[in-house]
Amino acid sequence: MTQITGITTTAKQTFTLVLPNGGQAQLYLEYMEGQQGWFYSISYGAWASTYRRLVVTANMLRAFRNIIPFGIGLMTSDGFEPLFINDFQNGRAQLFLLDQSDVQAFEGILSVN
């Protein structure tokens, strides 16, 4: 699990994520004041998922676990969604890139419950 750093208070931001398998994914983040929250779009090769809300979860990309070799997790210090433009900059919210073993470990926990 690797923290995605460098998220600022700029409303629209793009990141190139270097994956453990050597591939790259493009992550686009956008803060929408009218929706009071952060949204993301992500692409990996021909696969893409667009304009989904960032929510607190171990893996926002769980639905695609059999298609892509990574995941994205989000944690906040208080357990609530990232609602403010400065949530990442002030450390209240943290975004993580999950490798395949992180995704599998999370799935193992879910299958026990």
> Domain residues of the chain, as ranges?
2-112
Integer Cα distance of 27 and 74 in angstroms: 14
The percent of residues in the chain predicted with pLDDT above 90, rounded, is 80
Question: In terms of DSSP H, where are the helices of the chain?
Answer: 100-112
Q: What is the pLDDT of residue 101?
A: 81
Q: Does the model's pTM come out above 0.85?
A: yes
Question: In degrees to the nearest 10, what's the CA dihedral of 23, 91, 109, 25?
Answer: -10
The DSSP symbol for 105 reads H
| Long-range contacts (CB closer than 8 Å, 24 or more residues apart) made by 20-23 | 20/69, 20/70, 20/99, 20/100, 21/69, 21/100, 23/69
At 10-65, the pLDDT tens digits run 999 999 999 988 999 999 999 999 999 999 999 999 999 999 999 999 899 999 98
